[in-house]
Amino acid sequence: MWADNPRQFIYLPLAIPIVISALALIFTGYVITIFHPKYLLEVYNNILGD
């Protein structure tokens, strides 16, 4: 695939920050649920007004 279209390397600098930020958000959510299991659910319910 890379041999057919080497221009795809142009997108690599754009993709790396997106992947890093996605992993950071996933890890942050995981850490929050370890220490406060119902925190995200409470915040979600507060936003909805339930």
Give the pLDDT score at 40: 85
Give the pLDDT score at 2: 57
1 within domain boundaries: no
Residue 37 contacts residue 44 (beta carbons within 8 Å): no
Give the pLDDT score at 1: 58
Give the pLDDT score at 4: 76
Give the pLDDT score at 50: 61
DSSP 9: G
> Which domain covers residue 13, as residue numbers?
6-48
Q: How do residues 1-50 score in pLDDT, each as one tens digit?
A: 556 777 888 888 899 999 999 999 999 999 998 999 898 889 889 999 86
* C-alpha triplet 27, 21, 3: angle, nearest 5°: 120
16 within domain boundaries: yes
Alpha helices in the chain (DSSP H): 12-35, 39-48
Domain count, the chain: 1
32 within domain boundaries: yes
Going by C-beta distance under 8 Å and a sequence separation of 6 or more, which residues neighbour residue 2? 8, 9
**pTM (2 d.p.):** 0.66
